Amino acid sequence: MKFSQILGCCVTAAVLAGCVSPSQMLVGPQGNTVRCSANGFGFVGAPLAEHSVTRCVADYKNSGYLPSEEAGNVGIQFSDATPSKATVSVVMPNSPAGVAGILVGDQIIKVDGQQVLDRAAARTMMFGKAGGSVTLTILRNDAEMAFTLVRSAHAPAPG
């Protein structure tokens, strides 16, 4: 068999087997995003690409990431000025936090009864699936208040 015949057979096999470009976006506890993706074609390349993405997604899930379509939020952001505290700097209108009455300047001191050590810990502790609930204990004017919020599936629109 000549090289051109072999090449023709390989091209035909690749065309018949098709190509794939699997991809999955994930969100981490600190709000960072990653994409697991690969490309492959043919009888060997397509399954390898699928396996590569499946393995990547599993590794990130084991590290606490969620598929972006499953991740929820409560609609608050923290001030960068004081990383040692979880001070609310933005409350999105119509978000779970906004509807509950959390205000800019409130300090999150507990999440689900666990003491918050800093802003990063608060983000990680609040992270979870949309539809799941989280109880935030805040400090406002030297008074503690608890709010139970249900994470929303989508970030509320500003304004």
* Domain ranges within the chain, ordered by starting residue: 3-67, 71-150
What are the helix and strand counts (H, E) for the chain? Answer: 4, 13
Q: How far is CA 81 from the centre of its chain?
A: 24
Q: pTM of the entire structure?
A: 0.74
Is the Cβ–Cβ distance between 114 and 106 less than 8 Å?
no
Of 60-74, 75-89, 136-150, the range with the highest mean pLDDT is 136-150
Mean pLDDT across 26-41: 86
Query: Rounded CA gap, 64 and 59, in Å?
Result: 9
Q: How confident is the model at residue 5 (pLDDT cuts 50, 70, 90)?
A: very low
Query: Rounded CA gap, 23 and 6, in Å?
Result: 32
Class of domain 71-150 as given by CATH: mainly beta
Is residue 154 pLDDT above 90, yes or no? no
CA 147, 151, 155, 156 dihedral sign is negative
Query: Rounded CA gap, 32 and 36, in Å?
Result: 13
